[in-house]
Chain A
Amino acid sequence: GAGVSQSPSNKVTEKGKDVELRCDPISGHTALYWYRQSLGQGLEFLIYFQGNSAPDKSGLPSDRFSAERTGGSVSTLTIQRTQQEDSAVYLCASSPGQGRYEQYFGPGTRLTVT
Chain B
Amino acid sequence: QQPVQSPQAVILREGEDAVINCSSSKALYSVHWYRQKHGEAPVFLMILLKGGEQKGHDKISASFNEKKQQSSLYLTASQLSYSGTYFCGTEKPQAGTALIFGKGTTLSVSS
Name 16 interchain pairs, CB-CB below 8 A, sorted by A: A33-B99, A35-B101, A42-B103, A43-B87, A43-B101, A48-B96, A50-B97, A56-B98, A58-B92, A58-B95, A59-B98, A95-B97, A101-B97, A102-B47, A105-B42, A107-B40
- Residues of B within 8 Å of A33, CB to CB, are 98-99
Please name all residues of chain B whose beta carbon is closer than 8 Å to the beta carbon of A41 when the two chains form the complex. 103
Q: Is the CB of A104 within 8 A of B87?
A: no
Cβ of B104: which chain A residues have Cβ within 8 Å of it? Answer: 42
B78 to chain A, nearest CB (A): 22
Within 8 A of A (CB), among B89-111: 89, 92, 95-104
Choose from A45, A50, A104, A108 the contact partner of B99 (Cβ within 8 Å).
A45
- Closest residue on chain B to residue A99 by CB atoms: B49
Please tell me which one of the listed residues A31, A58, A106 contacts residue B41 in the complex, with CB atoms under 8 A apart: A106
Residues of A within 8 A of B (CB): 31, 33, 35, 41-45, 48, 50, 56, 58-59, 91, 95, 101-108
Residues of chain A contacted by B30 (CB below 8 angstroms): 101
- Interface SS of chain B: loop
Q: Which 9 A-B pairs have the closest CB atoms?
A: A48-B98, A105-B41, A43-B101, A42-B103, A102-B44, A56-B95, A101-B97, A105-B42, A42-B101
Q: Are B99 and A103 in contact (CB under 8 A)?
A: yes
Number of B positions contacting A (CB below 8 A): 23
B47 touches A101 (CB 8 A): yes
- The CA of A106 and the CA of B102, in the complex, are separated in Å by 19
A105 to B104, CA, bound (A): 16
Contact A104:B44 (CB < 8 A) given known A41-B103, A42-B102, A42-B103: yes
Q: Which residues 18-60 of B have a CB within 8 angstroms of A?
A: 30, 32, 34, 40-44, 47, 49
CB distance from B29 to the nearest CB of A (A): 11
In the complex, are the beta carbons of B43 and A105 less than 8 A apart? yes
Q: In the complex the two chains form, what is the Cα distance from A59 to B32 in whole Å? A: 19
A44 to B2, CA, bound (A): 10
List the A side residues contacting B96 at CB < 8 Å: 31, 48, 50, 56
Q: In whole angstroms, how far apart are the Cα atoms of A44 and B101 in the complex? A: 7
